[in-house]
A and B are shown apart, each in its own frame.
Chain A
Amino acid sequence: MRRVVALYRSSVGKKVLMAVTGFVWFGFLLAHMAGNLGAFLGQEHFDAYAEHLRVVGEPMLPEYSALWAFRAVLIATFIAHVVLAWQTSRQSHQARAVGYRKQENLSFSPASRFMRWGGVLILVFLVYHILHMTTGTLHPDFIAADASGHNAYHNLVTGLSNPLVAAFYVLALTAVAAHLFHGVWSLMQTLGAAHPKYKHLRRPVATIVAALVFLGFVSVPVSVLAGILR
C-alpha cells in the first residue's frame, strides 16, 4: 500500500495507476466479450452461462460470493481510474489556464484527444447498461432470475431489439474502441514498454485489440436487429 501511495503522489505515478486499473478493465472486457459471444451458441448455453456466474466457486463458496468479489475489484478499479482521470485532467487544465488563439493539433491520433469525453460517455453508458441488463430497471421486458433459472437470453434479445437502444450500445462501443485504441498503446508507453525490439508492435497490437473488441461486442446488437439472434 505504501508503494501505491508513493506512486499516487507524482503525476507519472498517477498515470501508472491509471494504466494498471485500465488494464484490469481491459481484461474484464475480453472476458465479457467471450461471455456475450456465447449467445450465438443458443439460449440454453447463454442462460446456463448466466447461471454459472451466480454460482461460480460453489460448493466451496456461497452463491454470489465469487461474483461479488469480482465485482468489488471492478468497482474499485473503475472508481480509481475515474478519480485519477479527474485529478490529472484538473492538473492539466490548470497548467494551461490561458489558451492559444490558434493551435494546430500535433497529436498523433484523434483517439488520444477523445479519451476524457469518451470516458465520460463510457461512464454514462455503464450506468445505463447495469440498469438495463443487470437490474432490469430500465428494461421494459425484463424477467429476473428465479428458482427455475436465468432468463438472460430473453433479456438480451428483447432489450436490444429496440433500434434506439441498440444504436446507443453501438455508439458506446465506438467510444470503448477509441478508448482502447489509444489506451492500450498508452498503457504500454506508461509502463515503460518501449524496447527498440518490439516497440513498433505497440500500434498494431492496440489497433487489432480495439477492432476485435469492437467487432466482438457489436456483433450481438447487430445480430439481434438483423434477426439472427431471436
Chain B
Amino acid sequence: MNLTLHIWRQDGPRDGGAFQTYQAKDISEHASFLEMLDVVNEELIKAGQEPIAFEHDCREGICGSCGMMINGVPHGPRGMIATCQLHMRIFNDGDEIWIEPWRATAFPVIRDLVVDRGAFDRIIDAGGYISVRTGSAPDANATPVHKHDADRAMDAATCIGCGACVAACPNASAMLFTAAKVTHLGLLPQGQTERYARVVDMVHQHDAEGFGNCTNHGACQEACPKGISIDTIARLNRDLMVASWAAAGE
C-alpha cells in the first residue's frame, strides 16, 4: 500500500519545527506502524537525508516509549494498543496520515516525534514508591490482599507511562498517570504507610511540572493503551481531600 505522511520535523528543542510530507511506498499491510516508519527512514538514509527520530524500545506494547499522535489520536485510531501494536492493515491504500509528537509544555520536544517525559519520572520520584526493607523475596501470601483490591491495584499498575493521557487531554493534564500510581500503591497494604503523603507530594509535583488541570473530560481513558479508568482519578481526589483535611487540622 502507498501512503502520504505529514510528519512533524524538528531539528532540536530550540528549532521551530514544521510538517514535512513523505510518500511511503509499497508498505506491507502486515507491517506495524513503526516498521512502516523504519521503511520510510531507510529511504531517507539512502537519499542522504536525516531519518525521522521516533522513540521505540520493546515493540510489544509494554515499554511505553513509542507514543505519537496519529491522525489526532494518541497511538492511532485503534483503542487499547500502543503505536508499535498498530498494524498498517487498518489504513487504506492512498490514506493521508498526520503524525505529531505529544503536545504538552511539560513534555518538551527533543527531536521530531521524540518528547522528554522526564516529568513523569519526577512525579514518581515525589512519591510513587513504597519504602520497605528489600532483600529476599517475601513468602507468598505472607501479607493477605483481598482479591477485589488486588485486581484493581493490578489494573492501575498496568500503566506504562507512555503519556497518551496527557496527549489526549484538552488540558494536557497528567492526572490519569498520577492517579494510576496513587491507586496502585494506595490499594495495597504495603502502600498504606505513605498513602496520604504520597498523594499530596505527587499532585504537587504534577502541578510544578506544568501539567494542566483535570476537568473530567474522560479523553485520557479513551486514549490509554492499557484501558486505565478515570475511577482512579476519583480515588486520587478522595485521598487528596482526606490528606489536606488531616494535614491542615494538625
Contact = CB atoms under 8 A, between A and B. Distances in A.
Interface of A: 2-3, 5-7, 10-16, 88-89, 91-108, 112-113, 115, 182, 185-186, 189-194, 199
27 contacts: A3-B249, A6-B245, A6-B247, A6-B248, A7-B244, A12-B214, A13-B241, A16-B237, A16-B241, A91-B171, A91-B207, A92-B212, A95-B173, A96-B172, A98-B103, A102-B98, A104-B72, A106-B219, A107-B218, A108-B219, A112-B216, A185-B216, A189-B216, A189-B230, A190-B216, A193-B234, A194-B234
B234 A100 contact: no
Nearest to A99: B103
Contacts of B236: 12
Interface string B208-232: 0011111111110011000000110
A99 B169 CA distance: 11
A50 to B, nearest CB: 37
Interface in B8-58: 8, 19
Nearest to B233: A189
B105 to A, nearest CB: 5
A104 B231 CA distance: 23
Contact of A10 (B6, B170, B171, B200): B200
Contacts of B234: 189-190, 192-194, 199
B204 interface: yes
B237 A186 contact: no
Given A106-B168, A108-B219, 11 more contacts: A2-B249, A12-B236, A92-B172, A93-B212, A94-B105, A101-B8, A102-B72, A104-B72, A113-B217, A190-B216, A192-B241
Contacts of A191: 237-238, 241
A2 B223 CA distance: 38
Contacts of B245: 3, 6
B240 A10 contact: yes
Nearest to A88: B213
B187 interface: no
B218 to A, nearest CB: 4
B68 to A, nearest CB: 11
Nearest to A182: B216
B117 interface: no
**A-B pairs with the 3 shortest C-beta distances?**
A192-B238, A95-B212, A194-B234
A3 B248 contact: yes
B114 to A, nearest CB: 15
A113 B231 CA distance: 20
Nearest to B214: A15
B72 A6 contact: no
B86 interface: no
A113 B216 CA distance: 10
B71 interface: yes
Nearest to A89: B213
B105 A95 contact: yes
Given A11-B207, A98-B103, A92 B216 contact: no
A1 to B, nearest CB: 9
A106 B223 contact: yes
Nearest to A116: B215
Contacts of A12: 175, 203, 214, 236-237, 240
Given A96-B103, A112-B216, A101 B19 contact: yes
Nearest to B250: A2
B98 A10 contact: no
B100 A100 contact: yes
Contacts of B215: 15, 88, 92, 112, 115, 186
Contact of A100 (B69, B105, B237, B247): B69
A102 B72 CA distance: 5
B207 A10 contact: yes
B223 to A, nearest CB: 6
Given A107-B170, A190-B237, A11 B214 contact: yes
B78 interface: no
